[in-house]
Amino acid sequence: MREFLDATLSFPAVLFAAALVVVIAFWLLVLVGAADHHSFDADLDADLAGVGGVPVTVSVSLMIAVGWFSALTGSVLVHRSGATGPLRAVLACAVLAGALLLAWGAVRLLVHHFRRYFPDQPPPSRQDFLGRVCTIRTGTVSTDFGQAEVTADDGTTATVQVRQLEPVDAELTSGRSGLLYAYDEAGEFFWVAAFDKALDPGPPHGRTASGPAV
């Protein structure tokens, strides 16, 4: 037990031990709902390290866990070797480098096998709403004003800006159905036309999109 504690609190195992404490605390917060394990995924590109394809938090957590175990094992061996002074420092640095390489290699191998369980989800796009039937939510829709509500594949709704081309259809008013047939990138609005909901064949097949208010 004494040997284990000495190795844990010595360089380089202590570096991984500190990181492991942070990882455990993070996953405990996720477990109780106080944190989201996807919260850092948009800010980091794990593909640069060859461990992309799974949530970044999962990759980093595995890397730290493997690194800690490797560094701990190496530190125990260094202590048992009886090396002291500069030689011991060199061996400790070698253990650190080896632990990092082993952790990276092990996680990369695991990610390669488990990547299929984390399929890529393309980010939602306004283009997903093209061809959908919407419900007008403003009193009228003109060439420079109008809003409508549209439903995504996953059942969520979004409020989007809509416009009509001349001549304006005066019957396209609040509660009426419209068809989103084009999107203006510069103006960030959809072109809409009147639509008879009785003719709606159902939502188009496509990728799932979640819609914040646009």
pLDDT tens for 48-71 read 455 655 677 888 888 899 999 999
Q: Note the pTM of the prediction, 2 decimals.
A: 0.50
Is position 59 within any domain? yes
Phi-psi region of 203 (alpha: psi -120 to 50; beta: other; left: phi over 0): beta
| pLDDT for the residue 3 | 77
Per the domain annotation, does 178 fall within a domain?
A: yes
Average pLDDT over residues 82-111: 89
Domain that holds residue 39: 2-117
| Cα–Cα distance, 203 to 199 (Å, whole number) | 12
Confidence of residue 116 (pLDDT cuts 50, 70, 90): low
pLDDT in tens, 124-153: 677 888 989 999 999 999 999 999 999 887
Residue 211 lies in a domain: no
Residue 75 inside a domain? The answer is yes
Are 148 and 95 in the same domain? no
In the chain the beta strands, taken as DSSP E runs, fall at 133-136, 147-151, 157-163, 177-184, 189-194
Coil vs helix vs strand at 120: coil
Question: 32 versus 211: which is more confidently predicted?
Answer: 32
Mode of pairing for the β-strands spanning 189-194 and 157-163: parallel
Count: domains in the chain: 2
Residue that finishes a domain, picked among 78, 94, 117:
117
Q: Domain for residue 209, yes or no?
A: no
Q: How far apart are CA 155 and CA 64, in angstroms?
A: 38
Q: Which amino acid is at 33?
A: G
Quick one: tokens of 57? 């938090």
Same domain, 24 and 110: yes
Which residues fall within 8 angstroms of residue 8, CB to CB, at 6 or more apart? 14, 17, 72, 75
- CA atoms of 197 and 178, how far apart (whole Å): 8
Residue 193 tokens read as 């036309």
